[in-house]
């Protein structure tokens, strides 16, 4: 006899837990023992998708598949329930929901609860439009699942029970596209004593979000882009991480005074005034990470904190000034269309700055850029995404304001869109301005199309063939006088470049995608050697 | 038992094929079977040899290598990080299916939770997209269904054998 057959059931179940439901079902045919192992496998996963063939979703084909699916779930679940096992997980995905199947789902949930299920994942989806009006209403039996630790629901309706919830083991609750009212959310948070994670995403029926008496709650993620939401009130003394993704044009009343231990806050939308924003931030003395996105009205960000470590600001179009008194800030990341004024006390922070300007670039733009970057201790990377229209730069205008030519940005990443018909010589002003304000050691330039490739060639020639018969009577001269040498480091397709530089940039994939969309781009990297 | 300043305690393990292994205490205590041996024999002498009649030298050496690395990862606070994943991937890359089977049998006997988690996942990955016959051969399963029985089971799980889309 093969010694592998000595492996105990629980190890084989462990192996099965890493296989797809289909593969698990296939093991039933291996032998009688495996057939039993499959029957007793405590993770029950049913996906109606597996029962459908393409193009046969409606009409008699659909009905037939639905019957097959219902029968399979009935039989499999029935067989499991006759065994002396507890259920680990019950996962159900119904993609062709109608009211007929609804009573079956009720029964399946009842059986799973009886078998002391620990993890529920139910999505009676309505993605096929045949039964658009039908919504599954969750049966009340689910609220008596005492051993349930994880509950994930999507596309269904939750009606509020009059009794107290018995979900005394529930740690994690996820609601996606669920119809729920504010009292029910409040009930979940106040009556599930162990609740730690709460995710509410695109749920309907909520005008107010009220989370109260959630003593163990550590993590909240709330996505509600609807403009019907009026207020958010969270009282959760243990809360560590909070994501609020809300409509960016409607003004929202947010009260999070009861979350004094918050460490990480992501705010997306919300239309804060300066006053609202600063009052909110003041409530969190232990805040270490702050991410602000799409805050349309915000004009000033003033933060004074010796705890703050990471700050990210993105798409806040009205932002004019940033004041940071954050001595322990490690990273500051900024992604916007214009350059604000910055005043900082953040001596150890690394800056990542992405700017995609709308306006034409002129001398004052380059001066603002220089001033903004000038307050940084260290610029880890500067990403500029430019459409080359009108660019002007006059060195005379800046000579008086700045004492010397110096390196500010070790790595400059440039992504350009060339406008047809403009001679490249018009872009000399761009080079003059950028190299003067950044003076990078490494320059990465992305070329997206034919014109951009020509631009690259022009750029390289321009860097190589420098004529220094200028600036003779001035102490501060243009970049041409300081550049000793230029070398091409590499020319790589986008994908290779990203792979090679991932560590260097310490950014994850998504971040980079934001900066440069993937196409058949080429990135050319130059090494610039400056006179010290 | 081991006090501060004292030399590291060494545990002696003897395999089925008669080989003696000297293992650092924290690594040996990863093996539930060794741990309970000492829990039950509290006054066992320091040079007690723990007999492991169901494990031979080759898989044991592999298991010690794995556990040693993971004990260190935990001590360095690297648990769950990329370097652990990298080590695991390297560790398993050169192992044949036969070696993998020997490892899981030994890890099961020694009762090492972390290693079992890792090995079960590895096995599952190697069985993905493999035929029923391949899986039978891998586990040494003898098909004890009659053709009629097999046909009935196949019919019941028809959906799992159809070329339908994965989700």
**What does the pLDDT average to over B2-30?**
83
Among the partner-chain residues A14, A22, A32, the one whose CB lies closest to the CB of B160 is: A22
Q: Which ipTM value was assigned to this complex?
A: 0.90
Q: Within this chain, do residues B108 and B137 fall inside the same structural domain, yes or no? A: no
pLDDT at B158 > cutoff 70 = yes
Q: Within this chain, do residues B116 and B155 fall inside the same structural domain, yes or no? A: no
Cβ density class A298-323: b for 16+ within 10 Å, e for less: bebbebebeebbbbbbbbbeebeebe
pLDDT at A515 > cutoff 50 = no
Which comes out higher in pLDDT, residue B26 or A515? B26
Contact at CB, A30 and B101, closer than 8 angstroms? no
Q: Are strands A411-418 and A442-447 parallel, antiparallel or unpaired?
A: parallel
Closest to A242 (Cα-Cα) out of A223, A221, A227, A257 = A221
B116 within domain boundaries: yes
Q: Within this chain, do residues B151 and B83 fall inside the same structural domain, yes or no? A: no
Contacts with B158 from chain A: Cβ below 8 Å: 68
CA distance A9 to chain B (A): 11
Contacts with B108 from chain A: Cβ below 8 Å: 7-8, 11
Nearest-Å Rg of the Cα atoms of chain A is 30
pLDDT at A516 > cutoff 50 = no
Contacts with B120 from chain A: Cβ below 8 Å: 11, 14-15, 17-18
Interface test with A, best of B100, B122, B132, B159 (most A CBs within 10 A): B159
B4 touches chain A (CB under 8 A): no
Predicted pLDDT of residue B107: 95
- Confidence grade of residue A296 (pLDDT, cut at 50, 70, 90): confident
Among the partner-chain residues B124, B140, B157, the one whose CB lies closest to the CB of A4 is: B140
Contacts with A25 from chain B: Cβ below 8 Å: 157, 159-160
The per-type count for chain B, helices as H runs and strands as E runs, is 9, 3
Contacts with A19 from chain B: Cβ below 8 Å: 124, 127-128
* Nearest residue of B to residue A69, measured between CA atoms: B159
B71 within domain boundaries: yes
**What does the pLDDT average to over A304-313?**
94
CA distance B5 to chain A (A): 39
Per-position DSSP letters for A73-116, written without gaps between them: HHHHHHHHHTSS---SEEEEEESS--HHHHHHHHHHHHHHHHTT
**What does the pLDDT average to over B48-70?**
93
B111 within domain boundaries: yes
Q: Within this chain, do residues B133 and B90 fall inside the same structural domain, yes or no? A: no
> What is the residue extent of each domain of chain A?
349-466+476-532
* Nearest residue of A to residue B161, measured between CA atoms: A26
Handedness of CA B29, B34, B35, B39 (dihedral sign): negative
Among the partner-chain residues A20, A30, A72, the one whose CB lies closest to the CB of B132 is: A30
Token readout for B120 is 């079960």
B105 touches chain A (CB under 8 A): yes
Q: A7, A34 in Cβ contact below 8 A?
A: no
* Nearest residue of B to residue A22, measured between CA atoms: B160
Q: Within this chain, do residues B69 and B44 fall inside the same structural domain, yes or no? A: yes
Q: Within this chain, do residues B52 and B109 fall inside the same structural domain, yes or no? A: yes
The count of residues in chain B is 167
Q: Within this chain, do residues B119 and B75 fall inside the same structural domain, yes or no? A: yes
Predicted pLDDT of residue A336: 83
CA distance A302 to chain B (A): 35
pLDDT digits (tens, 9 = 90+) for A368-413: 888 888 888 788 888 988 876 778 888 877 776 766 666 678 889 9
Contact at CB, A4 and B105, closer than 8 angstroms? yes
Contacts with A30 from chain B: Cβ below 8 Å: 132, 135-136, 139, 141, 143
* Nearest residue of B to residue A12, measured between CA atoms: B120
Contact at CB, B140 and A3, closer than 8 angstroms? yes
pLDDT at A518 > cutoff 70 = no
Domain count, chain B: 2
Among the partner-chain residues B124, B156, B159, the one whose CB lies closest to the CB of A19 is: B124
pLDDT digits (tens, 9 = 90+) for A10-34: 999 999 999 999 999 999 999 999 9
Q: Is A188 helix (H, G, I), strand (E, B) or coil?
A: helix
Contact at CB, B141 and A34, closer than 8 angstroms? yes
CA distance A112 to chain B (A): 21
Domain span at residue B145 reads 129-162
B134 touches chain A (CB under 8 A): no
Q: A287, A267 in Cβ contact below 8 A?
A: no
**What does the pLDDT average to over A408-430?**
82
Which comes out higher in pLDDT, residue A291 or A404? A291
CB atoms within 10 A of CB B89: 10
Rounded to the nearest 10°, the torsion over CA A384, A390, A394, A398 is: -40
Q: Within this chain, do residues B98 and B149 fall inside the same structural domain, yes or no? A: no
Among the partner-chain residues B140, B145, B162, the one whose CB lies closest to the CB of A2 is: B140
B5 within domain boundaries: no
B123 within domain boundaries: yes
CB atoms within 10 A of CB B163: 5
Which comes out higher in pLDDT, residue A420 or B28? B28
As to burial, measured by CB atoms within 10 angstroms (0-12 exposed, 13-18 middle, 19+ buried), residue B9 is middle
**What does the pLDDT average to over B98-127?**
94
B167 touches chain A (CB under 8 A): yes
- Confidence grade of residue A255 (pLDDT, cut at 50, 70, 90): very high
Q: A258, A235 in Cβ contact below 8 A?
A: yes
pLDDT at B99 > cutoff 70 = yes
Contact at CB, B128 and A25, closer than 8 angstroms? no
Integer Cα distance of A325 and A304 in angstroms = 5
pLDDT digits (tens, 9 = 90+) for B25-40: 999 999 999 999 998 8
Predicted pLDDT of residue B2: 42
Predicted pLDDT of residue B44: 78
pLDDT at A54 > cutoff 60 = no
Contacts with A3 from chain B: Cβ below 8 Å: 101, 105, 140
Contacts with B83 from chain A: Cβ below 8 Å: none
pLDDT at A519 > cutoff 70 = no
Predicted pLDDT of residue B41: 84
CB atoms within 10 A of CB A153: 23
The enclosing domain of B34 has a CATH number of: 3.30.710.10
pLDDT digits (tens, 9 = 90+) for A61-108: 566 778 889 999 999 999 999 998 899 999 999 876 677 788 899 999
Among the partner-chain residues A15, A35, A47, the one whose CB lies closest to the CB of B167 is: A47
Contacts with A4 from chain B: Cβ below 8 Å: 101, 105, 138-140
CB–CB contacts below 8 A, A to B: 106
Among the partner-chain residues B123, B140, B161, the one whose CB lies closest to the CB of A15 is: B123
B34 within domain boundaries: yes
Q: Which of residues 29-88 of B touch A (CB under 8 A)?
A: none
Q: Within this chain, do residues B102 and B38 fall inside the same structural domain, yes or no? A: yes
Token readout for B70 is 């993971």
Predicted pLDDT of residue A57: 53
Rounded to the nearest 10°, the torsion over CA A142, A143, A145, A150 is: 80
Q: Within this chain, do residues B80 and B90 fall inside the same structural domain, yes or no? A: yes
pLDDT digits (tens, 9 = 90+) for A156-201: 889 999 899 999 999 999 999 898 999 999 999 999 999 999 999 9
Integer Cα distance of B111 and B105 in angstroms = 10
- Confidence grade of residue A323 (pLDDT, cut at 50, 70, 90): very high
Contact at CB, A31 and B135, closer than 8 angstroms? no
**What does the pLDDT average to over A211-234?**
91
Q: Is A488 helix (H, G, I), strand (E, B) or coil?
A: strand
* Nearest residue of B to residue A52, measured between CA atoms: B164
pLDDT digits (tens, 9 = 90+) for B134-147: 999 999 999 999 99
Q: Within this chain, do residues B148 and B70 fall inside the same structural domain, yes or no? A: no
Integer Cα distance of A66 and A206 in angstroms = 33
Token readout for A344 is 């900082």
Q: Quote the percentage of chain B above a pLDDT of 90.
A: 67
pLDDT at B61 > cutoff 90 = yes
Among the partner-chain residues B121, B123, B159, the one whose CB lies closest to the CB of A51 is: B159
Average pLDDT of every residue of chain A: 85
Contacts with B99 from chain A: Cβ below 8 Å: none
Token readout for B80 is 């769950």
Q: Which helix (H) or strand (E) holds B72?
A: helix B57-75
Predicted pLDDT of residue B91: 94
Q: Within this chain, do residues B97 and B147 fall inside the same structural domain, yes or no? A: no
């Amino acid at each position: 006899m093969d010694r592998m057959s000595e492996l105990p059931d629980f190890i084989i179940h462990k192996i099965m837990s890493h296989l797809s439901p289909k593969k698990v079902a296939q093991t039933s045919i291996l032998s009688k023992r495996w057939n039993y192992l499959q029957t007793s496998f405590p993770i029950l996963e049913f996906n109606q998708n597996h029962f459908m063939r393409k193009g046969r979703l409606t009409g008699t084909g659909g009905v037939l598949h639905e019957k097959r699916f219902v029968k399979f779930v009935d039989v499999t679940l029935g067989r499991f329930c006759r065994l002396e096992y507890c259920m680990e997980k019950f996962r159900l995905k119904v993609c062709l929901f109608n009211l007929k199947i609804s009573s079956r789902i009720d029964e399946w949930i009842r059986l799973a609860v009886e078998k002391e299920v620990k993890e529920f994942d139910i999505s009676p989806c309505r993605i096929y439009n045949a039964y658009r009006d039908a919504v599954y209403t969750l049966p009340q039996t689910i609220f008596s699942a005492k051993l349930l630790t994880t509950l994930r629901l999507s596309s269904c309706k939750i009606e509020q029970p009059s009794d107290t919830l018995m979900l005394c083991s529930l740690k994690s609750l996820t609601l996606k596209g669920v119809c729920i009212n504010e009292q029910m959310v409040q009930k979940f948070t106040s009556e599930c004593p162990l609740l730690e994670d709460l995710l509410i995403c695109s749920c309907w029926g909520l005008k107010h979000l009220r989370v109260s008496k959630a003593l163990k709650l550590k993590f909240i993620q709330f996505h509600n882009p609807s403009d019907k939401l009026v207020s958010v009130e969270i009282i959760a003394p243990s809360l560590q991480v909070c994501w609020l993704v809300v409509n960016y044009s409607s003004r929202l009343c947010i009260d999070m005074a009861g979350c004094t231990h918050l460490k990480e806050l992501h705010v997306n939308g919300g239309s804060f005034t300066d006053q609202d924003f600063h009052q909110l931030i003041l409530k969190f003395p232990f805040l270490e990470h702050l991410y602000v996105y799409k805050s349309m009205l915000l004009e000033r960000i003033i933060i004074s904190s010796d705890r703050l470590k990471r700050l990210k600001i993105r798409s806040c179009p009205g932002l004019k000034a940033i004041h940071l008194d954050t001595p322990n800030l490690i990273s500051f990341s900024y992604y916007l269309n214009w350059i604000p004024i910055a005043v900082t006390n953040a001596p150890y922070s690394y800056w990542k700055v992405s700017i995609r300007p709308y306006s034409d670039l002129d001398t004052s733009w380059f001066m603002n850029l220089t001033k903004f970057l000038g307050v940084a201790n260290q610029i880890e990377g500067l990403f500029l995404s430019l459409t080359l229209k009108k660019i002007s730069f006059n060195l005379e205008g800046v000579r008086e304001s700045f004492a010397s030519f110096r390196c500010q940005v070790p790595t400059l990443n440039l992504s350009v869109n060339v406008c047809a018909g403009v001679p490249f010589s018009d872009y000399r002003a761009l080079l003059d301005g950028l190299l003067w304000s950044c003076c990078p050691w490494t320059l990465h330039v992305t070329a997206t199309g034919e014109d951009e490739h020509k631009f690259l060639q022009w750029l390289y020639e321009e860097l190589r063939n420098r004529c220094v018969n200028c600036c003779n009577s001035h102490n501060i001269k243009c970049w041409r006088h300081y550049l000793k040498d230029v070398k091409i480091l590499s020319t790589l397709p986008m994908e290779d470049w990203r792979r090679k530089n991932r560590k260097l940039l310490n950014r994850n994939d998504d971040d980079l995608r934001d900066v440069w969309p993937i196409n058949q781009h080429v990135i050319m990297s130059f090494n610039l050697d400056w006179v010290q | 038992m081991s006090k501060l300043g004292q030399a590291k305690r060494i545990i002696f393990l003897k395999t089925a094929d008669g080989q003696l292994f000297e293992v650092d205490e924290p690594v040996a205590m990863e093996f539930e079977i060794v741990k309970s041996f000492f829990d039950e024999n509290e006054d066992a002498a320091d040079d007690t040899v723990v007999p492991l009649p169901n494990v031979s030298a080759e898989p044991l050496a592999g298991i010690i290598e794995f556990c040693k690395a993971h004990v260190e990862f935990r001590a360095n606070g690297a648990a769950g990080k990329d370097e652990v994943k990298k080590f695991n991937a390297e560790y398993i890359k050169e192992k044949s299916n036969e070696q993998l089977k020997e490892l899981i049998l030994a890890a099961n006997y020694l009762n090492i939770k972390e290693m079992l988690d890792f090995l079960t996942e590895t096995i599952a990955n190697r069985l993905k997209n493999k035929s029923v016959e391949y899986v039978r051969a891998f586990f040494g399963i003898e098909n004890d269904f009659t053709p009629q029985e097999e046909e009935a089971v196949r019919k019941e799980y028809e959906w799992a054998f159809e070329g339908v889309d994965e989700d």
